[in-house]
Amino acid sequence: MTLNSKFRDIYAHPVGRDILDKLLVQTGKPAWLINNGIIGNVTLGAVQRLTRGWLTPSFFEALLALLNIEPDAPDANNAAATPAWWKEAVFYQIYPRSFAPNGLRGIIAKLDYLRDLGVDAIWLSPVYDSPNDDNGYDIRDYYKILPEFGTMDDMDALIAGLHERGMKLVMDLVVNHTSDEHPWFQAALRDEHSPYRDFYFFRVSDNGPPNNWTSLFSGSAWNYYQEQKVWALHLFSKKQMDLNWECPALREEIYKIVRWWLNKGVDGFRLDVINFISKTEGLPKGDSFVGTLMGYTGIERYFYGPRLHEYLKELRARAFEPYKAFSVGETPGIGVQMGRLLSDSYRRELDLIFSFDHLETPGHSRFDDYRYDLSYLKRIYQTHLNADRGHGWNTLFFNNHDNPKFLSKVDPEGAYVQPLARLLAILQLTLRGTPFLYQGDEAGTQNQPFTSIDEIHDVESLGLYAELIKTMPPNKAFKRILAGTRDHARTPLCWEELERQRGDPASVRQFYRNLIALRRSSKALIYGELVFLRPKDKTLLSYTRTLADECFYIEANLSPTTRRSAAPCGAELLFGNYAGSPSTLRPYEARIYRINKLSKPM
Ligand code: NOJ
């Protein structure tokens, strides 16, 4: 791709397509606007000339670099999805700090609860030794358990306890960075000739930071070490130092860590910000337009770096494949096509990725205080969920430890929590992909009523607040923090509430339990073909899942006003989030029907 490339060709390129699709979504414009004879023929060079003074040459240089990194395109042929345990499983994420008291022992005490809910596998957020600057995502020792969570014996007991119950364990693997207290970093900082020096990005620069990259947690991405007169890169907190994957010895250490845990019996890993591991050679400066647009300067230099596929293939071949271990990558910013190139099975990179495209509506970011319109979720699902043509698979989730509660985003006043929590459960367990529940989903957990910055603990929120109050009054800054803080997801899980819901057949907990059992009982809900109906209807999301003779029809009213149901005649209602099934759907009503595959939904 060059400045002579036409828009049509850029849209046909997987990276170009993802970038242009994002721009189209943000501006609310349809794809034909780019994909037509006139605009399609316009060259990038012409756009550069037209936008001179507004978009700098570095923007076009960065865009072309990204396009030219990727020589491949996802396989366009259809394939039948091959069966795998992790496609059939229901995962449950545990954030050990707030799941239950007593760390690993506390988790072991809840395994029967999880099994009873229908959970097949756990993704456990980090329990490794850490100074906890970012709640364990800053690892000091990959081979040791943080004492406040227990001991390695407790870890072994957890693995055994899960396996006895037929469940699996997926650990968090944080290898984009380590804590600055990791012995590798300490040795590397102290001695420039240390064999660990090349494990990190150290740079000497007399006139300020080596480049203009900003940290995802606010401020410059560089620490200056006065005594050593050297800078070191950290994309996250000041204590999370980025690892240099270009160094073969570092990669060997990472394979060693992975194999060590797999030898212990863990079944796979969730790979933290794994798409950030390959930085563009020379760490060139970021484009300021992209920086303003995305909120982070420099991101285009590492979110889909030049050696990413190579590193992932090597990691898989050297450490995962010998154990047939499972991998799910956390991949912020990755679009549909790039996601396919990272996770389609024939590529032998990752098994699954977490795409975050559905978590905010166009024009909004996590710290904006706004109401999420569910018709966007429908739009996203329609473009994402069948995009892999059978070569790949999706993850289905609404919450994790990095986001405020999705329920509260859709319904900030909490007026429709009861139907909404169940509507989301229905989508999560009947769409095509692997459900990842976050602790508390099964209780319909909402955001916390924090009233002051003193109640906020998260390093990201505190960094952002310090930045915001430089330019706005504290109450306004706090409002932004309140909208987006990760602390909403990190307060202790309310076991009293879950206990209260235990015997209640009408509870959210029981609803999840029944839905998980339904999914388990039907291969159509797992591997069945997914067909979206009424694609233009903004308030009704409806689809069928069909395999052989089994067919389900699912519909959900995405709005708080009543509307007509489109269920076919004679359909058998299996599940709903309201009692009865009148011909109108009530606010956020969702239903699952079994239908005859020949009957036509309306
Ligand atoms: C993503 C993790 O989910 C998040 O909690 C963490 O702060 C960053 N990566 C940095 O490790």
Please write the tens of the pLDDT for every residue from 117-133: 999 999 999 999 999 99
Nearest to 554 by CA among 533, 569, 535: 533
Q: What is the pTM of this model?
A: 0.97
Counting ligand 1 atoms within 8 A of each CB, the residue from 128, 174, 239, 460 with the most, and so the one to mutate, is 174
Query: Angle between the 336-343 and 308-315 helix axes, to the nearest 10 degrees?
Result: 30
Q: Which atom of ligand 1 is nearest to the CA of 174?
A: 11
pLDDT score recorded for residue 602? 62
Active site residue: 75, 138, 172, 272, which one?
272
Taking residue 519's Cβ as centre, other Cβ atoms within 10 Å add up to 19
Q: What are the residues facing 121 on neighbouring strands?
A: 91, 168
Write out 197-209 in H/E/C secondary structure: HHHECEECCCCCC
Residue 347 has phi, psi (to 5 degrees) of: -80, -20
Please write the tens of the pLDDT for every residue from 362-392: 989 999 999 999 999 999 999 999 999 999 9
Angle, CA of 240, 245 and 250, to the nearest 5°: 85
DSSP code of residue 559? S
Burial class of residue 146 in the structure, from the number of CB atoms within 10 Å of its CB (0-12 exposed, 13-18 middle, 19+ buried)? buried
Q: With 80 as the cut, is the pLDDT of residue 147 above it?
A: yes
Residue nearest to atom 11 of ligand 1 (CA): 137
Active site residue: 267, 330, 344, 357, which one?
330
The residues, ordered by sequence, that sit 6+ positions from 274 with a Cβ below 8 Å of its Cβ are 175, 176, 312, 329, 330, 331, 350
Report the C-alpha dihedral over residues 455, 461, 463, 468, rounded to 10 degrees. -100
Percent of the chain at pLDDT exceeding 70: 100
Task: For 228-256, give one letter per residue: b (16+ CB within 10 A) or e.
Answer: eebbbbbbbbbbbbbbbbebeebbebbee
More confident residue, 51 or 317: 317
Cβ atoms of 534 and 543 closer than 8 Å? no
Q: How big is the chain by its Cα radius of gyration, in Å?
A: 24
Taking residue 96's Cβ as centre, other Cβ atoms within 10 Å add up to 23
Distance of CA 145 to CAs 128, 130, 136, 163, 404, Å? 4, 9, 10, 20, 28
CA distance 325 to 258: 10
Give kind and range of the element (H or E) at residue 230: strand 230-233
Please state the rounded mean pLDDT for residues 228-232: 98
Q: What are the residues facing 451 on neighbouring strands?
A: none
* 137 C-alpha to ligand 1 centroid (Å): 6
Does 180 participate in catalysis according to the annotation?
A: no
Q: With 90 as the cut, is the pLDDT of residue 35 above it?
A: no
* 129 C-alpha to ligand 1 centroid (Å): 16
* 63 C-alpha to ligand 1 centroid (Å): 26
Percent of the chain at pLDDT exceeding 90: 92
Angle, CA of 222, 227 and 233, to the nearest 5°: 15
Q: With 70 as the cut, is the pLDDT of residue 600 above it?
A: no
Q: Which atom of ligand 1 is nearest to the CA of 138?
A: 11
Query: Angle between the 14-27 and 57-69 helix axes, to the nearest 10 degrees?
Result: 130
Please write the tens of the pLDDT for every residue from 421-430: 999 999 999 9
Alpha helix segments (H runs only) across 30-110? 37-40, 44-50, 57-69, 85-88, 96-99, 103-109
Please state the rounded mean pLDDT for residues 231-245: 98
Q: Which of 34-43, 272-281, 491-500, 507-516 has the lowest mean pLDDT?
A: 34-43
Please write the tens of the pLDDT for every residue from 566-593: 999 889 999 999 998 889 999 999 999 9
Output the ligand 1 site: residues, CB below 6 A.
134, 137, 174, 236, 272-273, 330, 401-402
Does 272 participate in catalysis according to the annotation?
A: yes
Angle, CA of 538, 542 and 544, to the nearest 5°: 155
